[in-house]
Every structure is written in C-alpha cells, then in structure tokens.
A = this chain, B = another copy of it.
Amino acid sequence: MDLHILEHRLRVTSLSKAGLERYTHGLIKLVFLRDKSRCKFFSLTEMPDDYTLVLDEEGFKELPQTDYLQVAEATWLALNVVSNGHSSTCSQTIGVTKIAKSVIAPLAQHNVSVFMLSTYQTDFILVRESDLPAVIHTLSEEFSIYKEVNGESVPVDSNNVTNGFIKPKTAASPTVHPVLSPKNQFCVMSLDPDTLPTIATILMDVMFYSASLKARSADQDLGYIRFFSFSLIDGYISIVVDTQTQKRFPSNLLLTSASSELWRMVRIGGQPLGFDECGIVAQISEPLANADISAYYISTFNFDHALVPEEDIDSVITMLQKRQNGER
C-alpha cells in the first residue's frame, strides 16, 4: 500500500453560527466560483452550533478574521492511502475501517493526534505538520510513502526523518468518550462539479439559510441532529446529508454509492474533544474493524462522527457502550 502526503497546507477552523452572515461572501466564492479562487481543499461541516471549515491557505485567505472564527493552532497536512492494485488482503469494508489497523492504531500508539475527513471518494487523515517525522517513522514499515511536490509524487526516505523522531512510544490509556446516536439517516453522495451551478440555490439554502435556532432545537427535542457536510477537494465534490434534506435536491443529479446505502451516525464526545488527545479515532475504528463494519469518519472542531451502515447501528452502539462501561 502507498501512503501519500498531500501538498495542501490546511487550517482547521470553527465558525460560530452567529457569525455566518459575515462569512457568506467568502464561502460562496469558495464553493460556487471556483475560477475566482485558488483554493483546492475546502470542507464545510455544519453542526448544531457551528460550522467546521477545513481549508488550504488560499481558501483561508477568503475568510475575514473575527471573533466568530476560531482557528486551531498548527498547520495540518492530509494523508491519503492508495491501494496500489495488489492489496489482496483488503476486506470489503470501506472508510476508516479499512485503515483502522494499518494507520489509525499505529498513529495513536505513537501519540499522533489525527483529524479524519472521510468523503465519497476517499478518506483524508489530517495530521499536524510538526508530527510528520513521527508519522513517517511509524508508517514506513507498512507503507511506501510519497510526498506530493508540485503535483509530482516523490518517494520519502524514512531514514532521513527518523533522526528527528523523539516522541515516546507508549501512549496514555485513552479516555473513553460517551457516544450518542441521532435518529437521522444519512446519505453520502457526490456530484459532477460541472453540475454544481444547477443546484446552487438549493445548496446555498441548505448551507446558509436553513439553520435557524428554532429548527435546531426542534431537531434536538426529537432526537435528530443538524449535520451537513460538503467538500470540494482537488475538483471532487462530496456531500453528506440526511434523507430529509436530500429530498430538496433533484434526484437525478446526485450520485450515491452503488449500494445506495443509508448510514446512521455515532457522535463521539460529551464535551468538546479538543485537538491534543490521541487515540479517539482509534477507540472507535478498532472495534469496527474487528467486526468488519464499514464507517465514514468525519472529525469536526468539537466532536467526531462515525457513519455506519443503518443495519449495524444497534450492534455498534452496544459494542461502544460496553467499552464505555469498562467491558472488553
């Protein structure tokens, strides 16, 4: 298997909903007017209270710096696993499950904090730029590692970086975070970027004009969550939307995966998780890998979210709650 370290230098930010109006101008430019900006990595995830925006430096420039925008310290890099054709041991699972044992678990053991972003097309593993030596050291046995430089893949010589690697190998036993499972059913979809203008008004409505506080608390009372994710990364669009919101889009334009599966969410974290704790993704993805259950995984500024096939949600919740109660 190959591991690619992408060129994008990323910022992870949280935009409070109260500040949205100040940011609509820049966000619309980034989403709909691609030829006006040189941003190549843009991801917006709407949560009940805020939007998590992950974007490269060109995109970050479009956002005014105000108190409404919290920016996580550090520059983040995106890693991407590419199966190079002969990975016959690969299970049929998709998403974070596929990389749980080869990437997520080893990074957690080496105290590397990760921020996951699954999309329709692939799974991005974001790590702090300063953790890159530890990442390369940890993963070079399992993977051929390449760094994208000016669009070219350049092999990384792990011996060169090992010298810089000083992190302790034993991680503290991780906090077990509470999980909750909202009732929404989600779809993971894509869209030809050339047809994006066709759904622009609906998408703007969903992203920027449907998030009233009233709607939010009605959602919560009924056990639903407001969650919507849109990403436009290297020209590929990925949309995660619940079935209720999906109905607003013309059905002939959005591509769902062949199985057209529905997904249920496991939200991880009772309190905001922060960025320093390691092993959060691992504590969720390992049991999923053991049970061979696919999962998309979307980190946001405050919480993590796994999306698992609808038919597996009960067993996943049971499994994770057992862990919470100290059972193994």
Contact = CB atoms under 8 A, between A and B. Distances in A.
Contacts of A202: 197
Given A198-B198, A200-B200, A201-B197, A25 B21 contact: yes
Contacts of A208: 25, 28
A258 to B, nearest CB: 29
Interface in A12-34: 20-22, 24-26, 28-29, 32-33
A9 B181 CA distance: 49
A36 interface: yes
Contact of A24 (B24, B205, B209): B24
A175 B21 CA distance: 43
A33 B205 contact: yes
Interface residues of A, number: 22
A105 to B, nearest CB: 43
A204 interface: yes
A274 interface: no
Contacts of A26: 21
Q: What secondary structure prevails in chain A residues at the interface with B?
A: helix
B204 A33 contact: yes
Given A21-B25, A25-B25, A32 B198 contact: no
A64 interface: yes
Interface centre among A22, A25, A36, A202 (most CB of B within 10 A): A25
A34 B98 CA distance: 45
Return the 8 tightest CB-CB contacts between A and B, nearest first.
A24-B25, A21-B25, A197-B201, A200-B200, A32-B201, A200-B201, A24-B24, A33-B205
Given A25-B208, A197-B200, A197-B202, 14 more contacts: A21-B25, A22-B25, A24-B25, A24-B28, A28-B204, A29-B209, A32-B204, A33-B201, A36-B209, A197-B198, A197-B201, A198-B198, A200-B200, A200-B201
Interface of A: 20-22, 24-26, 28-29, 32-33, 36, 64, 196-198, 200-202, 204-205, 208-209
18 contacts: A20-B25, A21-B22, A21-B25, A22-B22, A22-B25, A24-B25, A25-B208, A28-B28, A28-B204, A29-B209, A32-B201, A33-B201, A33-B209, A197-B200, A197-B201, A200-B200, A200-B201, A200-B204
